Amino acid sequence: MKAIAVYPGKPNSVHLEEIPRPNVSDVPGGKGVLVRVLKVGVDATDREINDALYGNAPPGDKYLVLGHESFGVVEEVGANCRRVKGGDFVTATVRRPGSSIYDLIGTNDMTSEETYYERGINLRHGF
């Protein structure tokens, strides 16, 4: 499948990248959720990443898939997924929780950790 991506640190590198289609089995423990993305926001953050002002690729990749705001519909869930089901409309959390006090109380956007993970922004691919 195709995704809009950049080469972090290289200005004006936005391009189409061929990436593997995700599978519900990519998440261990039967807790995977496969979502068909219906809408993705592209905003000033994505422009700044394309301008090479910030942004980092996930370990092992040279590119970063953009798009950190999404809306979609659940297509498939793992055997141990209990919070959503096929057909549910969903949006995803951008910032991945770490272990700081802010993360532990559910305010991930205020993390005090030096290394943080944000979909489509830092160390995690977007949608």
pLDDT digits (tens, 9 = 90+) for 45-71: 999 999 999 999 999 999 999 999 999
pTM as predicted: 0.87
Q: What is the DSSP string of the chain?
A: -EEEEE-TTSTT--EEEE-PPP-GGGSGGGT-EEEEEEEEE--HHHHHHHTTSS-BPPTT-S-EE---EEEEEEEEE-TT--S--TT-EE---SEEP-SSHHHHTT-GGG---SS-EEETTBEE---
Q: What was the pLDDT predicted at 16?
A: 97
All domains of the chain in start order, with CATH: 2-124 (3.90.180.10)
